[in-house]
């Protein structure tokens, strides 16, 4: 399976509740590589670009207001089948439909406060990554010399 990248946002509700470490740990445990991670305040412009496909829906302004309400952790994760893997790990958008063991099933409080966002396709991931990160902020694992440092016995 080909390696791909996906955007993940740890939303304001999860940041405020101190869930950053647990969420990041789940992606690391599945073998995904972090390509970029930053704590940021989402601007209205970024939020409107990110949720562009929902601009004509009645809940659009609520999405924008929530994602801009306090800091988020924006991340890019890479690995084989990363988009589908992250989506499965997150669970359904509505946490009531998410089984235990998924991020939303274990941590989300409501549909509005569902803890994380993950790209829904490789095409969406490419678009979303460009909204939140410049090319210079993205680590190229294959060409950077980056790798896991293993402790010697």
Positions marked catalytic = 117
- The contacts of residue 83 (CB under 8 Å, 6+ apart) are 4, 6, 118, 119, 120, 121, 122, 125
Report CA Rg, the chain: 15
- Estimate to the nearest angstrom the gap between the alpha carbon of 50 and the chain centroid: 12
Q: CB-based contacts of 68: which residues, under 8 Å, 6+ apart?
A: 41, 42, 43, 44, 47
Q: Which residues contact 50 (CB under 8 A, 6 or more apart)?
A: 42, 67, 128, 131, 132
């Amino acid at each position: 399976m080909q390696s791909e990248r996906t955007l993940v946002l740890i939303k304001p509700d999860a940041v405020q509740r101190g869930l950053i470490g647990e969420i990041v740990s789940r992606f690391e445990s599945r073998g995904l590589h972090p390509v970029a991670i930053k704590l940021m305040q989402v601007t209205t412009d970024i939020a409107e670009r990110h949720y562009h496909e929902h601009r004509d829906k009645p809940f659009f302004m609520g999405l924008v207001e929530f994602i801009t309400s306090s800091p988020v952790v924006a991340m890019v994760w890479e690995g084989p089948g990363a988009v589908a893997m992250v989506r499965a790990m997150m669970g359904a958008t509505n946490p009531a439909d998410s089984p235990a063991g998924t991020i939303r099933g274990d941590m989300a409080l409501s549909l509005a406060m569902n803890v994380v966002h993950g790209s829904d396709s490789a095409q969406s991931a490419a678009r979303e990554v460009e909204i939140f990160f410049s090319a210079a902020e993205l680590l190229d694992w294959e060409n950077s010399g980056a790798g896991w440092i293993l402790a010697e016995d």
